[in-house]
Amino acid sequence: MRFSKISLCAAAVAAVSIAFADAANTLVVFSTTGDTYADGTAVQDGEWYALCWSANNEFGGLSSECEPLVEGDRVFLMAPLAEGGRCPDVVFQIKSSEAPTSGNYFVYLLDTRGLDGKPSKAVNKKPAMVNAAVATNAEAKGAKGTEASSYATGSELSKDGSGAIAWNESGVDNVGQPEIKSFRIDGDRVKIKVANMHPSVRYNIFTGSEPGSITKTTLDSPVSAESNSVEFDLDKDQGKFFKVGRQPLTK
């Protein structure tokens, strides 16, 4: 297995500090703007990303079994998150008692493509072994990922690197529920102003023919909230009922 270095978008880094604001636990928010494999092709939907941590400024790399190569490095999250050529917004919570007190986080795109050219399915909740040619191509091993954030909170990192991780249910609560504040028609367009948005979340307007089944997205690309309020601009004929919601991680 090999690594590809990726970059964090500025919005994701900014979101980290907001996510930390009122959480006893540690929240790490990350996303990417668009990624490619080392061969230059766009990352496929379902490809795996890894959220890694190192006490130093450099993460030591992963083995083909997805284990850190350097003692003390940790992998907090490994999941097939890729969607639309990028890693979508992920809010990840680490229980305070397990959170590192210092160090740096890194996000890696994993190339798990097998002989069929598709990203690996999960085996034992990790990527399966990839074909030998890719698995031995470890030229990027030890490449430095991009720093996601550095901070100090929580207690000592567990030595075996397998501490309990908390998914961000409380983080979702902190994000809050978006709300349509105004709705107007301008020619063939519908302008929907939404408030109570969070910078770490991407939103879309969903439509449907019944209020209880509003599932169709109206925008090809979801919108990140650069402020608390955003006005969406839609084709008027896209639906009868409209609702704002978070663009799902998985379709």
CA–CA dist 246, 10 (Å, integer): 20
- Kindly state whether residue 135 participates in binding other proteins, applying the rule CB under 8 A: no
Which one of residues 63, 101, 150, 182 is an interface residue with other proteins (CB under 8 A)? 182
Select from 35-43, 54-62, 107-115, 190-198 the region that touches other proteins (CB under 8 A).
190-198
Select from 111-119, 133-141, 148-156, 208-216 the region that touches other proteins (CB under 8 A).
208-216
**Residues in 31-70 at the binding interface with other proteins, rule: CB under 8 A:** none
Measured from the CB atom, is 25 or 149 closer to other proteins? Answer: 25
Which one of residues 63, 211, 226, 228 is an interface residue with other proteins (CB under 8 A)? 211
Q: Is the dihedral of CA 111, 114, 120, 123 positive or negative?
A: negative
Which one of residues 91, 107, 148, 223 is an interface residue with other proteins (CB under 8 A)? 91
DSSP per-residue letters across 39-72 = TSPBPPTT--EEEEEESSSS---B-TTS-BSSTT
Cβ atoms 180, 167 nearer than 8 A = no
Measured from the CB atom, is 137 or 170 closer to other proteins? Answer: 170
Cβ atoms 93, 77 nearer than 8 A = no
- Kindly state whether residue 246 participates in binding other proteins, applying the rule CB under 8 A: yes
Cβ atoms 88, 126 nearer than 8 A = no
CA–CA dist 50, 75 (Å, integer): 7
Which one of residues 82, 148, 157, 190 is an interface residue with other proteins (CB under 8 A)? 190
Residue with tokens 């040619």: 133
- Kindly state whether residue 2 participates in binding other proteins, applying the rule CB under 8 A: no
- Kindly state whether residue 194 participates in binding other proteins, applying the rule CB under 8 A: yes
Which one of residues 44, 137, 170, 229 is an interface residue with other proteins (CB under 8 A)? 170
Residue 221: CA count within 13 A, CB half-sphere: 10
- Kindly state whether residue 79 participates in binding other proteins, applying the rule CB under 8 A: yes
- Kindly state whether residue 26 participates in binding other proteins, applying the rule CB under 8 A: no
CA–CA dist 65, 240 (Å, integer): 50
From residue 24, give the alpha-carbon distance in Å to each of 47, 166, 236.
31, 12, 44
Residues that bind other proteins (CB under 8 A): 23-25, 75-81, 91, 93, 95, 122, 124-126, 162, 164-170, 172-173, 175-187, 190, 192, 194, 198, 201, 203, 210-212, 214, 236, 239-246, 248-250
